[in-house]
């Protein structure tokens, strides 16, 4: 008899939630991760008393009360509201696109004035069924917002022309005719006080964990330890890239400690212009309203992905989706392997969606 019911490959949110739920049902789990720490991309590194979101800024938001209650079991959340600023051609603009942004762009003071401009620009463009991100943006918000706040940021972020990107990416951004700078429309939002590691530690309490373990280097020995595998890594790697590589976008982070208590006055400042090499600067202390005399900022550079780099964003265009479907067809035939999470499902997931998916898959598996 095997020692474990489940071998969980990857200690990110999907793997940790699955392990937690399975353990609650009396199952024995072993969680392995190739990094030196658990938590996947929500891991925070404490630098000089500041929780630095090491793999990119994570702001928790959800409309689902059950998901909100779930994460609140493990950590208390503060009342942080994400209100990013964008710098474009020397001027600052509020995001998401709202009455403040429209005032900064055109001096419009009422919703009617702003709507008149936006609707005339949408009409001028005249496309009813957008086929790509550029067409989606132009038919949603018009030329001025697109050219000032979307085009260059998006092309820098994805390393592709906006005309070669899927339209769903831009649907993430709300458009509002109120003076409301909240980036998200969700009812619940915040940052766990003390960082995301508290949630991960709570999820993995009393569960066997091994870090520094590369699943593919010890596949046979590890697989023999458990009845079933929960795999959260890259699905194309699992099948040895037999249908070819799935494409990702990678990121590079440059952390800088500064002897100032407040560098940019906001947690997130986006840099729209193509001439600036990074997409945004994160000042981590503002996520937790830090009072330190110093600060840590991170410049985020978007990079071409290669196999030795971290895979951050799946590039869900048609070519990649078709390839993914071939891998998925294999994965659903597996009796003893459960695939889940951003890399195994090749999906641009937010944290709350990953948790919902892990809860649903674990329920299905364990019932
Ligand atoms: N975006 C943009 N301008 C901005 C911020 C975002 O055009 O200032 C677009 C861009 O295409 C990006 C998408 O909106 O990929 C989603 O951005 P968000 O910040 O929500 O995603 P994240 O990178 O944080 O997952």
| Active-site residue identified among 119, 172, 254, 261 | 172
Roughly what angle, to the nearest 10 degrees, separates helices 13-24 and 351-366?
Answer: 30
CA distance 342 to 215: 17
Of the candidates 328, 359, 356, 363, the one whose C-alpha atom is nearest the C-alpha of residue 344 is 328
Q: How far is the CA of 150 from the centre of ligand 1 (A)?
A: 8
- The answer to whether 172 is a known catalytic residue is yes
The DSSP bridge pattern shows strands 44-47 and 29-32 to be unpaired
Paired residues of 51 in beta bridges: 46
Residues touching ligand 1 (Cβ under 6 Å) are 86, 95, 149-150, 153-154, 157, 169-170, 172-173, 270, 272
b vs e for 265-282, b when ≥16 Cβ sit within 10 Å of the residue's Cβ?
ebbbbbbbeeebebbbbb
pLDDT digits (tens, 9 = 90+) for 141-187: 999 999 999 999 999 999 999 999 888 888 767 889 999 999 999 99
Q: What's the pLDDT score for residue 169? A: 86
Q: What's the pLDDT score for residue 231? A: 98
List Cβ<8 Å contacts ≥24 apart for 168-171: 168/316, 169/133, 169/348, 170/133, 170/136, 170/137, 170/140, 171/136, 171/140
| Active-site residue identified among 300, 312, 324, 346 | 300
pLDDT averaged over 10-residue windows placed end to end, the chain, 367 residues: 91 98 98 98 97 98 98 98 98 98 98 97 90 93 97 96 89 88 97 96 98 97 97 98 96 98 98 98 98 98 94 91 98 97 96 98 96
Paired residues of 300 in beta bridges: 253, 280
b vs e for 168-183, b when ≥16 Cβ sit within 10 Å of the residue's Cβ?
ebbeebeebeeebbbb
pLDDT digits (tens, 9 = 90+) for 197-254: 999 999 999 999 999 999 999 999 999 999 999 999 999 999 999 999 999 999 999 9
Q: What's the pLDDT score for residue 348? A: 92
Q: Other CB atoms closer than 10 Å to residue 64's CB: what's the count?
A: 15
**In sequence order, which residues have a C-beta less than 8 Å from that of residue 194 and are 6 or more positions away?**
51, 75
Paired residues of 209 in beta bridges: 31
Q: How far is the CA of 154 from the centre of ligand 1 (A)?
A: 7
φ, ψ dihedrals at 153, nearest 5°: -60, -50
- The answer to whether 335 is a known catalytic residue is no
User: Which ligand 1 atom minimizes the distance to the CA of 162?
Assistant: 11
CA distance 341 to 354: 6
**Global ipTM:** 0.98
CA distance 349 to 11: 16
Q: What's the pLDDT score for residue 1? A: 60
Paired residues of 118 in beta bridges: none
Q: What's the pLDDT score for residue 361? A: 97
| Active-site residue identified among 21, 153, 183, 249 | 249
- The answer to whether 300 is a known catalytic residue is yes
- The answer to whether 144 is a known catalytic residue is no
Q: What's the pLDDT score for residue 173? A: 75
Q: How far is the CA of 309 from the centre of ligand 1 (A)?
A: 21
Q: What domains are defined for the chain? A: 4-79+189-247+316-366 (3.40.50.720), 95-171 (1.10.3110)
């Amino acid at each position: 008899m095997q020692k474990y019911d489940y071998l969980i490959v990857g200690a990110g949110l999907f793997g940790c939630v699955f392990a937690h739920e399975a353990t609650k049902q009396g199952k024995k789990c072993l969680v392995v991760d190739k990094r030196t720490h658990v938590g996947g991309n929500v891991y925070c590194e404490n630098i000089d008393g500041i929780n630095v979101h090491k793999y990119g800024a994570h702001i928790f938001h959800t409309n689902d009360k059950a998901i909100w209650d779930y994460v609140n079991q493990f950590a208390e959340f503060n009342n942080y509201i994400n209100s990013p600023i964008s710098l474009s051609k020397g001027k600052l603009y509020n995001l998401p696109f709202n009455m403040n942004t429209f005032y900064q762009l055109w001096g419009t003071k009422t919703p009617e004035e702003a709507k008149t401009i936006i609707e005339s620009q949408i009409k001028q463009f005249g496309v009813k069924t957008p086929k790509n991100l550029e067409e989606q943006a132009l038919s949603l918000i018009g030329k001025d917002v697109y050219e000032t706040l979307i085009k260059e940021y998006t092309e820098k972020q994805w390393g592709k022309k906006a005309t070669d990107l899927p339209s769903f990416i831009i649907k993430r951004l709300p458009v509002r005719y109120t003076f409301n700078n909240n980036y998200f429309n969700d009812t619940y939002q915040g940052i766990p006080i003390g960082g995301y590691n508290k949630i991960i530690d709570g999820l993995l309490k009393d569960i066997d964990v091994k870090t520094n373990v590369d699943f593919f280097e010890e596949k046979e020995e590890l697989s023999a330890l458990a009845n079933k595998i929960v795999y959260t890594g890259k699905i194309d790697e699992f099948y040895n890239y037999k249908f070819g590589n799935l494409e990702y976008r990678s990121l590079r982070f440059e952390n800088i400690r500064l002897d100032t208590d407040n560098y940019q006055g906001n947690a997130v400042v986006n840099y729209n212009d193509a001439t600036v090499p990074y997409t945004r600067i994160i000042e981590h202390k503002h996520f937790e309203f830090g009072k330190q005399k110093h600060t840590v900022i991170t410049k985020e550079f978007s990079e071409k992905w290669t196999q030795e780099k971290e895979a951050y964003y799946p590039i869900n265009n048609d070519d990649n989706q078709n390839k993914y479907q071939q891998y998925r067809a294999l994965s659903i035939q597996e009796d003893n392997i459960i695939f889940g999470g951003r890399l195994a499902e090749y999906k641009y997931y937010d944290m709350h969606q990953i948790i919902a998916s892990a809860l649903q898959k674990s329920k299905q598996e364990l019932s």
